[in-house]
Amino acid sequence: MTNYESFIRGLPKAELHMHIEGSLEPRMMFDLAARNGLKLRWGSPSELQAAYQFTNLQSFLDLYYEGCRVLIHEQDFYDVTAAYLRRAKQDGVIRAELLIGPQSFTTRGVGIETVMNGVLRAIEDARHDLAISSGLIVTAQRHRTEADAMLLLDQIMPWSDRILGIGMGGAEVGNPPSKFVNFFRACRDRGFRITIHAGEEGPASYVREAVELLRVDRIDHGNSCLADPELVAEIVRRKLALTVCPLSNLRLKGVPSLEQHPLRALINAGLHVTVNSDDPSYFGGYVSENLIECQRALDLSLNDVVDLARNGFTAAFISPDERDKALASIDSYVAAFRM
């Protein structure tokens, strides 16, 4: 292990863009399928992992949604959430803001209470048992209608005081943020922070709609904003954070190589960039691997890496006190580490 790799793995981190369903490791998928009497179309976990060869976002989503079938009971949602949080703890994560898309489950008969209770129980247990701070962002799926999103918003209100925010993911092209203006207005009116995936495979205009029409608190991905310098300046002015996911972009062919990833350009443009794992089981790396691989590919300095880690906490939906303590923990770690 190089000094940089050791430094990054131990560095206190926040992860702001990680889909719980996307942390379902192949072995756990097979275990849950067996527990729930389901037959997968792959013969083994290794055969499943070999299928993780994606050509674009949609090719990934097709497999992703198929994997969601094994999550049926409250304990299933608990187990996959708890497994990620244990892994995140080993990765130096002390703040995790997790995304879950209930529509993948409720539309096939799984009760909303099954999803919410399982995930939230795991988050609470991890708070006590692992001392890891976590929050839940509920995501609507953009390939569905705005009426579907409104229904989801109503369904989750019994847990509103335990939900960190509302987001949106799914196939981006052809489903612009403007399709959901009324939904996000309703989310804001009910007191939720809001995020949306924009600029992952969609154009800069999608990021602009997220900023100007939806008035988001954070942008998930946001890479394509670089095509619009005026938009970049506006994002900087509004101090909006981007939750960038480099290995995800690489695996989904958004970039031909990490050496050509726009992370460095985003940083140089003055944007508030954070690094995250997105769907770590499918994309070959949790948050530390994302930072390690980007450091190597883009020749990031120690200060670059530390700044990215600090950005995670300043962008997190946490109290000023928790933020100050997290930033102090980074300072202490950096001061004590010997390269």
270-319 confidence digits (pLDDT tens): 999 999 999 999 999 999 999 999 999 999 999 999 999 999 999 999 99
First to last CA, the chain: 12
Looking at the structure, give the CATH architecture of the domain made up of residues 3-336: Alpha-Beta Barrel (3.20)
Listed in sequence order, the residues at least 6 apart from 264 whose beta carbon sits closer than 8 Å to its beta carbon are 298, 300
The residues with which 198 forms a beta bridge, in sequence order, are 221
d(CA 284, CA 156): 31
For 72-109, what is each residue's pLDDT tens digit?
999 999 999 999 999 999 999 999 999 999 999 999 99
Task: Report d(CA 287, CA 278) in Å as an integer.
Answer: 9
Residue matched to tokens 């080993």 = 90
Q: Is 15 a catalytic residue?
A: no
SS3 152: helix
Query: Residue 339 — pLDDT band, cuts 50, 70, 90?
Result: low
Q: Where in the chain are the domains?
A: 3-336
Q: Are 12 and 331 in contact (CB under 8 A)?
A: no
Q: What is the mean pLDDT of residues 35-57?
A: 93
CB 298 within 8 A of CB 250: no
pLDDT at residue 1, rounded to an integer: 60
Percentage of residues in the chain having pLDDT higher than 70? 99
Residue ranges in 91-201 assigned as alpha helix (H): 103-106, 112-129, 146-155, 181-189
Task: Report how far residue 155's alpha carbon sits from residue 150's, in angstroms, rounded to the nearest whole number.
Answer: 9
For 202-241, b where at least 16 C-beta lie within 10 A, e where not — what string?
bbbbbbbbbbeebebbbbbbbbbbbebeebbebbeeeebb
Question: If you count them, how many residues does the chain have?
Answer: 339
Of 74, 172, 200, 201, which residue is the catalytic one? 200
What element of type H or E holds 96? strand 93-100
Sheet holding 272-275, edge to edge: 13-19, 93-100, 133-141, 165-169, 193-198, 218-221, 241-244, 272-275
